[in-house]
Homo-oligomer: A and B are copies of this chain.
């Protein structure tokens, strides 16, 4: 059978059970640095060169797609356009709620502090090509970018064989206000957005998923001073199930994660041996007809079912694993969520399937993987915003905190810091 079942492991073994499949540690650094160096020096010429070399596509031009081509209307079915609009509406509604209010705090009398939000002015979205056009990721990145007020929202995605861009990606980009779109993918796209070329503008922050080359390129972009959304990695789900869970639903959720890629991982954590057995049977049955069954089966081989003694232990195990997606498919799901410390996005109850969040519930599907949920949040409106602190100190305020500043600055050996206060306090003595 595919998933390995582990019965009542000791807590001392949980860390080992939380390990992700080891990646082959291909050192991509030299490839990435060569491409970055070439794009920095040669600009568009390097983009054309690497698109031919890596993607096998000879581009006639890099002219960005600036206006909505007719093909968006003719090639994207009305049903898909309607689905995209429903999803976009929910994503917009949820991300709008993440706006911060400005609260002015008078920390000492006469000392007024506040935080104001400003958009990252120029952002770049990377949308992978590969087996299918991920127009849903366009929605997840471009909608909060527009809500944040980003001035330039550019998008890079690998060209199809004829050099064009998939119409569903174009459609999603157009309705979300992406300002320009480029048919460039892979390392060279990340390098282009890092340095800028004759055609592609440089940006301040790069978002979006990708394979190991794109991930390594985003890491290199940070060395060049460009921010990134998240360290990316293979997708994963952890499902907590008990005797009340529907095994068919659980199996369907595990498969919807497993089909993402051979390096995906799914974890089933349960208080009930019987339900796990039923889930495993359902998995075998459902796998048989799945178009992506080879991918899913490979992912399941690296996956685990863990039986634990209580719901609390299930939550503790999940916290150690820190899943990208956590489905709590138990009776008392809402009661358990308070104990969740580390997770990207949580799905509560029998009907909150992961695919709902992947597409249409309104939450973001760009989430921390590989245990990064211990320290990172998923993409949100805040990912496109900087928080600037602002302070206004009145003469009375400076009198209230000035001596503390002078004392601390002097102790740290920073006399000019102290003097900036003294000069002002002296002046105030004579006005």
Residues of A within 8 A of B (CB): 79-80, 82-84, 86-87, 89-90, 93-94, 97-98, 100, 103, 105, 107-108, 111, 113, 115-116, 118-121, 131-136, 168, 204-205, 219, 222-223, 225-227, 231, 246, 248-249, 252-253, 255-256, 258-260, 286, 290-292, 296, 333-334, 337, 340-364, 368, 370-378, 380, 382, 385-395, 397-398, 401-405, 407-409, 411-421, 423-424, 427
What residue of chain B has the Cβ atom nearest to residue A111's Cβ? B361
Assuming A135-B412, A248-B427, is B398 touching A343 (CB within 8 A)? no
How many copies of this protein are present in the complex? 2
Among B253, B258, B360, which residue has its beta carbon within 8 angstroms of that of A408?
A: B360
Assuming A168-B411, A360-B404, A412-B132, is B111 touching A226 (CB within 8 A)? no
The docked-state distance in angstroms from the alpha carbon of A166 to that of B116 is: 36
With A108-B361, A113-B362, A131-B413 already in contact, 14 other A-B pairs whose C-beta atoms are closer than 8 Å? A84-B408, A121-B341, A204-B375, A258-B416, A291-B415, A292-B416, A333-B392, A346-B389, A351-B394, A351-B395, A351-B424, A356-B393, A360-B405, A363-B391
Q: Which residues of B contact A341 (CB under 8 A)?
A: 118-119, 121
Q: Are B118 and A342 in contact (CB under 8 A)?
A: yes
Assuming A341-B121, A353-B421, A417-B358, is B225 touching A372 (CB within 8 A)? yes
Q: Which residues of B contact A393 (CB under 8 A)?
A: 347, 349, 351-353, 356, 361
The docked-state distance in angstroms from the alpha carbon of A378 to that of B117 is: 12
Q: Are B427 and A372 in contact (CB under 8 A)?
A: no
Among B205, B351, B378, which residue has its beta carbon within 8 angstroms of that of A389?
A: B378
Assuming A90-B108, A98-B115, A386-B342, is B419 touching A255 (CB within 8 A)? yes
Q: Are B420 and A249 in contact (CB under 8 A)?
A: yes
Q: How far is the CB of A118 from chain B (nearest CB, A)?
A: 5
The docked-state distance in angstroms from the alpha carbon of A113 to that of B388 is: 27
Q: Are A286 and B359 in contact (CB under 8 A)?
A: no
Q: Are A87 and B424 in contact (CB under 8 A)?
A: no
Q: Are A377 and B373 in contact (CB under 8 A)?
A: no
What residue of chain B has the Cβ atom nearest to residue A401's Cβ? B360
Q: Which residues of B contact A342 (CB under 8 A)?
A: 118, 121, 386
The docked-state distance in angstroms from the alpha carbon of A402 to that of B378 is: 23
The docked-state distance in angstroms from the alpha carbon of A409 to that of B351 is: 17
* Complex A-B: 17 CB contacts under 8 Å: A79-B407, A83-B407, A84-B408, A94-B105, A94-B113, A98-B115, A105-B362, A115-B380, A120-B374, A249-B423, A296-B416, A343-B388, A349-B393, A352-B391, A355-B405, A360-B404, A380-B387
Q: Are B412 and A133 in contact (CB under 8 A)?
A: yes
Closest 5 pairs (CB-CB, A-B): A107-B362, A132-B413, A227-B375, A90-B107, A83-B404
Q: Which residues of B contact A372 (CB under 8 A)?
A: 225, 227
Q: Are A408 and B361 in contact (CB under 8 A)?
A: no
The docked-state distance in angstroms from the alpha carbon of A79 to that of B403 is: 9
Q: How far is the CB of A105 from chain B (nearest CB, A)?
A: 5
Among B108, B118, B119, B258, which residue has its beta carbon within 8 angstroms of that of A86?
A: B108
The docked-state distance in angstroms from the alpha carbon of A79 to that of B419 is: 18
Among B90, B350, B360, B403, which residue has its beta carbon within 8 angstroms of that of A424?
A: B350
What residue of chain B has the Cβ atom nearest to residue A151's Cβ? B341
Q: Are B359 and A409 in contact (CB under 8 A)?
A: yes
What residue of chain B has the Cβ atom nearest to residue A136's Cβ? B408
